[in-house]
Structure 1
């Protein structure tokens, strides 16, 4: 590995250095060799991946540390939070010379654990491992993982479960909640911390007339694009607290996430979300709210010669980029998924009509787009109770496409519509086998999700392609992990 240790250079008030506490009986789960090679792991390091991914081996170049931050959880100020069960164990350069964090999840209690035990259980580790891999393969910025390890050590949740550790990678673990903690508890650090964030993650903003405003605008825009991409593949994060969004617009912290199956925009995929705050349809507005909270924490950074009210207006103007950026990326993406020209004035409305049909008929989101892509109109029609509604849509749809370059539109559809997503029942089967020390299903899903847009008849199974029958209870997921 080529180390680029940056975070330890910050004030020690922002973290706590400590060694990980390995689990008893650590053993191999799954290893992402392609990612390890992108991160420039040596052959010796790859051979020792179980030791590295289980906290048995750390690096003299980087003293492991737990970050402190704060946040709003379910819309309420939660006070001091922090890495309660994870440690940043290295910052290294990948092949593109980009600095990547290595974060070990499940590494034991830290000063920020509150009432937690500092551990992670096998089911949640597998879900995060596969989700990060799936989103990256879908072209959505996200954390990823080099590997995970299981163990013989029990961890108490609703029941006694197997403890596990995950070595997560991300371009950034600095969260919106970092700024909230600094502003609340160590305000004197805010200017230097913000400066480092710009230098490390948005160096192009250093040359702007007002670097902080340029930085804020970039964070707003990247977050809007990330959430638009979530919406287009039907991904619901489940816990969009301010401490679960980072400043680079890459997906972080997989708890009770889900890839939507039957199209229910108000689907609650986290059964701890009693008010439905974090449903799929709420994600764009929650992203906007979180950024508004974050921008308030930049208020103290008024440049010399600025009036307070003018600074407030300029920060608010940064947020004004969110909605148009989100809508533009979502509109273009939906047109691509539909195989419709984005310049046609009726294309987006036609796409929304298709979504209304999916919602009223409770059709599978991913499968329906694949059927549309494959021109399997009869299969879609046969699934509709309101056949007339679909026939009216199809007439409009074919009319828009009639005088267009259909081959180019079809090619765009193939690049926009995944055949495979990580359905909850797929992940659950992999978890149940892994809890019996059989990681073959994890390996199969890892392979399948590596190429989500490509048909893989040898690897796929029938249950990968659609939702469970209506009479089978859906897999419910909680924040417990």
Structure 2
């Protein structure tokens, strides 16, 4: 079905180690992303039973050569010199019609040489969450890994209590992480250089043309990470575990784990059950990304043309540039979300800062606020204005803000609604909806999963079903903690 190549295995071991997946007892296909498979070059899609065998690890697809990838990482600030794919196997890479290369990886397919005593399996819940959230992110234009398949294993995995197991098939521009460079650096300068040259060739060929390709690589990755985090925050997304081993060099969202979308706006919001200190809270994400990039820079210093203190200063200057890249992207997103004219940058920042304060103080749902603001922008009628004011505990203050916004340089009436709609999704994978899907799946009912998947894969549509699933959680439905499932 897919034509596999093996670009990554040109790199030296132990950046990768050959490993076979462990079979599962009774694989059953939950979902297969045929549109993505076609994009990756699949001309024929086999039946569900064959797909279940392939994407559970029971059978190796033709041409695949599974390997586990090695990496290290700072986990909540503490360095672990060897992590690696403890429950994942890279089947190989494929090249699409546009000449772009993608990795295809199984997650939950059994133990590997990097498992460190783990079972190598994945519970069903995290598989469904990653499928839903990654496909939503792709639909709204946030760089992300993609979901190709989800297969129920027919087995139980032991976590706090026994849970149904599953295997997830992930597609990524690559699986190289900051932690991969940290792992390579422990194995010597030549290993690090080989990895850096590989990344430049695969992701950032423009860096090769610069006087110092490795400093240019740092600049490219810094820009991509800044743009990515700005896009996350424009949607209220909280990654949950921004360790260096979860920071993709390609600038994609990777390893969704205990991720969540903020509902009532709170810059200090945390969902992840393991983030007890709030290290990865919503408003900490830019600073954490910058910190992770500093760890990346440390691995590149020995490769750079300029060594010593001067080389360190050059790298520090690049990392400081994160803030400018982040601010530029955030401002453009704010302009779009507020329906402002393209040159209204400073006005956008002033208005959005004030609105975020109002959303926090007024206990306003972030997605619902921007959705209602988008509809109000369509005609400025009293009914829609009242619907907006009903979202806050402080209607007078919010009403005053609406007057300031209407006095700003807005797009014209003909284009404003469409522009704002594309910046403000109707529906997101709300935490309580994801929980409902997982709860139903535990009873072998996947219909709610497929319904939610169809809606979040078209997040700007105004269907009745989308409106139903877009509703914020009630107090009794609210999900306060999310779990990664490892």
How many Å separate the matches in 2 of 1:5 and 1:94? 14
Matches within 5 A, 1:73-472: 73-303=75-305, 306-344=306-344, 345-375=346-376, 376-401=384-409, 405-457=412-464, 459-460=465-466, 462=468, 464-472=469-477
Give the structure 1 partner of residue 482 of structure 2: 477
Deviations 1:140-192, CA, capped at 9 Å, x for gaps: 01001111100221110011011110110000100000111121244441112
Deviations 1:238-272, CA, capped at 9 Å, x for gaps: 00000001111000001000011111121111021
How many Å separate the matches in 1 of 2:65 and 2:413? 56
**Shift in Å, 1:474:** 2.2
How many Å separate the matches in 1 of 2:91 and 2:347? 51
Q: Which runs of 4+ in 1 moved over 6 A?
A: none
How many Å separate the matches in 1 of 2:278 and 2:197? 37
Deviations 1:439-476, CA, capped at 9 Å, x for gaps: 1111111110111011122x3362x2232223444252
Q: Secondary structure at the match of 2:389?
A: helix
| Structure 1 alignment gaps of length 5 or more | none
| Structure 2 alignment gaps of length 5 or more | 377-383
How many Å separate the matches in 1 of 2:12 and 2:114? 17
Deviations 1:379-405, CA, capped at 9 Å, x for gaps: 222333323211221111111147x52
| Contact 2:4 2:92 (8 Å CA) reproduced | yes
How many Å separate the matches in 2 of 1:386 and 1:54? 52
Give the structure 2 partner of residue 25 of structure 1: 26
Q: Secondary structure at the match of 1:299?
A: helix
* TM-score (ref. length: structure 1): 0.95
How many Å separate the matches in 1 of 2:153 and 2:202? 36
Please, which moves more after superposition, 377-386 or 200-209?
A: 377-386
How many Å separate the matches in 2 of 1:273 and 1:93? 37
**Shift in Å, 1:339:** 1.2
Root-mean-square deviation over aligned CA pairs: 1.6
| Contact 1:341 1:409 (8 Å CA) reproduced | no
* TM-score (ref. length: structure 2): 0.94
How many Å separate the matches in 2 of 1:415 and 1:374? 12
How many Å separate the matches in 1 of 2:328 and 2:483? 33
**Shift in Å, 1:45:** 4.6
Give the structure 1 partner of residue 16 of structure 2: 15
How many Å separate the matches in 1 of 2:341 and 2:286? 24
How many Å separate the matches in 2 of 1:90 and 1:220? 27
